[in-house]
Amino acid sequence: MKREQALAIVKEHLTEHRYVHTIGVMETAIKLAEKHGVNAEKAELAAIFHDYAKFRPKEEMKKIIVEQKMDPTLLDFHSELWHAPVGAYLVEKEAGICDEEILDAIKYHTSGKPRMSMLAKIIYLADYIEPNREFPGVREVRELTEVNFHQGFIKSVKNTISFLIQNNRPVFPLTFQMYNNIVMKMEDE
């Protein structure tokens, strides 16, 4: 699928603000993919579609989670997490994208998971550092990513978990598992 066609599809499902964010994620993901030897076309498509289900009604997303037998613990956590796995499902069904690596990157761009592919890490990190985002810590992660992708990725995970804890919000189990996997790998090195 060509960029223009993909952007036209997602634009119908996003607010103007979220569309601008999507363009930023796309541009960031392409740069990261090219720099780190990852398929830039896959990064482009995953980035364009990463928030495809962001504004779907909560009831629709809940129904898809139940009917498609997705992880039922999703329903115990903030609905903000739902759009990623639901989005991956809808991108396949509605946009006809069947590439498992792209779908996986979309599915885990909010929660992360242990042993993510490099493409999935790029989408996770591009979503965090794209140039339209401004929040405490994002500039540090951008600068760190320029020097060392993996250190930038780790810092983004740590910042996300710290933010959730500081705001008395639960941390999804896969996010903790991703963090633990990263830390345990560092200990083995």
CB 157 within 8 A of CB 175: yes
Q: What is the pLDDT of residues 74-129, one digit of tens each?
A: 999 999 999 999 999 999 999 999 999 999 999 999 999 999 999 999 999 999 99
Tell the burial category of 46 from Cβ atoms under 10 Å away from its Cβ (0-12, 13-18, 19+): buried
Q: What is the pLDDT of residues 15-24, one digit of tens each?
A: 999 999 999 9
Distance CA 112, CA 178 (A): 6
Find where tokens 């903030």 sit. 78
Enter the pTM of the model: 0.96
Sorted by where each begins, the domain ranges of the chain are 3-136
| Cα 169 off chain centre by | 19
Q: What is the pLDDT of residues 38-65, one digit of tens each?
A: 999 999 999 999 999 999 999 999 999 9
> For the chain, what percent of residues have pLDDT higher than 90?
96
Which of the four CATH numbers 3.40.50.360, 3.30.420.40, 3.50.50.60, 1.10.3210.10 does domain 3-136 have? Answer: 1.10.3210.10
DSSP 80: G
Which segments of 36-148 does DSSP mark as H helices, in order?
A: 40-49, 58-67, 83-95, 100-107, 118-129, 138-147
Structural tokens at position 132: 């339209």
